Structure formats: C-alpha cells, structure tokens
C-alpha cells in the first residue's frame, strides 16, 4: 500500500514537471538563442555573445515600438479596466433582464480569433471613415479604442472571478451603519475586489502590449508597436536579434507578474 502511494506521488510530480517543461521550453529556447554568437541558429551553439541585444538597441524601430507599445498598453488598461470592473459589478450584483446576454456580449471577444477581430475592426473603421469623414485607421485614437476592446473582456472575467465568494453582508452592514453608497464603494467594495482588479490590470496590460493582430492592421506610418516592428524586421533578416527583443519582453512581463504577485496574491483570483 505504501509502495503504491509512493509510486502514485512520484508519477504525479513527474507529470507536473513534464507539463511545466513543455510550457516553458519555448520560452527558454528564445532566451538561449538570444545569446548565440552565430547568425544562423544551430545546436550546439558555436559560442555566446551579447551583440544581438546591442543590435536590437541600435535599431530605432524597436525602441520606438517599445515606447509606443508601453504607452498604448497603459492607456488601454487605464480606460478598459474601470469600464470592465463596473460592468462586472453590475452583472454580478444587478438584477435586470438581459444580464446573461450582456455578459456573453462582453466576454465574446475572448472566443473570437484575434486575426478575425482585427479584420472586422479594420473593415468597421473603413466604413466609419466614410460616415464621419475622418481618418481612423492609423490614428492613435483608433488604435487605443481597439486595444480597449481587448482589456474589457479580461477585466470582466477576472473581476467576476474575484467577486465569487464575496460576502454581500459586509456592504449591507456598512450601509446600515450610515455609510453612503460612495463610501461603501470606495471603502468596502473596491478593497475586497483588489485582487481581481490588480490581476485585470496585469492581464490587460500584457494582452495589449503583446498584441500583434489588431495592431498590424490598424497602425499607421511612424506609429508601429513593438510586435509589428519585430514582424517588419523578420521580413528582411533572420538572426537572433528578434530572440533578444523577445527576451527583453519576457523579462519585463516576468517582473510585472512577480511584482504583482508580491503585493496581491494572484492565486486568490484563480
């Protein structure tokens, strides 16, 4: 009996290790390739170098794309998270007809392939340009609006998950003691939803920062994001420079997740 239990425990940990190895293998491969000395990727590597990071820094497109992606992700998160959080609160606590339909509408973009959503938005923008007689495709406002559509569904999903199990009686007790709706919202509701809101901010930022499909169709001259700059580079050159840029992205997102989990445990949301 003890032998069977030991074997089962060993098999369980082995499967977990293999699953993590399968998930992390592409990430580790990108990081390793970014340090290869040869331009043509080969295994085993001929040597190690940092020149691909210097080469990425020397290309203005990557630096400008990084700044654009950071600005775009921050703006889209700042707009989409409050809207999504209010929608999630209304869906979970409100009592009105069509609540299920509204929830499906807000979560619908998560089920639509990104390239299809990008194509649909591009066609919509073109049609809207004829109506309002203003340029939308290639404009900053049009790109921000598209990325806000990425952040709202994630916020609704994560904040709704964070609301599961919350005790409404705490809010009712505060209201019965004379607290106004505004005080209840700011002093009771938002602190209880902090984990879900912070997780929504993190995932919304990552989704916007890493998005290629929407940005590829909606960016204009001089306003390209980092993923689009990487794709443009790939059209003319194939070397570990892109792996170096990808390593920087991995480090930035990893630090963001570590810092987020340091102050708000993400496991509470999931």
pLDDT value of residue 57: 84
> What residues does CATH 1.10.3720.10 cover in the chain?
67-228
pLDDT tier for residue 4 given thresholds of 50, 70 and 90: low
pLDDT digits (tens, 9 = 90+) for 94-127: 777 877 888 888 888 888 888 888 888 888 888 8
The CA dihedral of 6, 8, 11, 13, to the nearest 10 degrees, is -70
pLDDT digits (tens, 9 = 90+) for 15-40: 988 998 898 888 888 888 888 877 77
pTM to 2 decimal places: 0.81
Phi, psi (deg, nearest 5) at residue 35: -105, 0
pLDDT value of residue 265: 62
Q: How far apart are alpha carbons 65 and 129 in whole angstroms?
A: 26
pLDDT digits (tens, 9 = 90+) for 160-213: 877 776 767 777 677 777 777 777 777 777 777 787 888 888 888 988 888 888
Cα→Cα distances 78→144, 221, 269, Å: 11, 25, 20
Q: How far apart are alpha carbons 83 and 155 in whole angstroms?
A: 8
Class of domain 67-228: mainly alpha
pLDDT digits (tens, 9 = 90+) for 205-221: 988 888 888 888 888 77
Residue 206's nearest CA partner among 56, 31, 81, 59 is: 81
């Amino acid at each position: 009996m003890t032998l069977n239990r030991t074997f089962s425990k060993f098999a369980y940990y082995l499967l977990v290790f293999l699953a993590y190895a399968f998930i992390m293998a592409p990430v580790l491969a990108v990081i390793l390739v970014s340090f290869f000395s040869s331009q043509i990727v080969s295994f085993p590597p001929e040597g190690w170098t940092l020149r691909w990071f210097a080469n990425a820094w020397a290309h203005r497109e990557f630096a400008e794309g990084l700044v654009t992606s950071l600005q775009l992700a921050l703006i889209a998160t700042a707009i989409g998270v409050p809207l999504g959080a209010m929608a999630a609160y209304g869906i979970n606590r409100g009592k009105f007809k069509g609540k299920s339909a509204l929830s499906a509408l807000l979560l619908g973009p998560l089920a639509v392939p990104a390239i299809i959503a990008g194509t649909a938005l591009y066609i919509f923008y073109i049609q809207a340009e004829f109506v309002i007689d203003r340029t939308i495709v290639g404009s900053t406002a049009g790109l921000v609006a598209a990325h806000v559509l990425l952040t709202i569904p994630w916020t609704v999903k994560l904040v709704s998950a964070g609301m599961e199990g919350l005790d409404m009686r705490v809010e009712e007790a505060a209201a019965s003691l004379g607290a106004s709706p505004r005080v209840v919202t700011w002093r009771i509701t938002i602190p209880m939803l902090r984990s879900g809101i912070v997780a929504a901010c993190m995932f919304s930022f990552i989704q916007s920062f890493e998005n290629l499909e929407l940005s590829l169709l909606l960016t204009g001259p001089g306003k390209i994001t980092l993923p689009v700059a990487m794709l443009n580079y790939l059209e003319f050159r194939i070397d570990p420079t892109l792996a170096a840029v990808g390593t920087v992205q991995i480090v930035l997102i990893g630090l963001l997740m570590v810092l987020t989990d340091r102050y708000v445990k993400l496991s509470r949301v999931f």
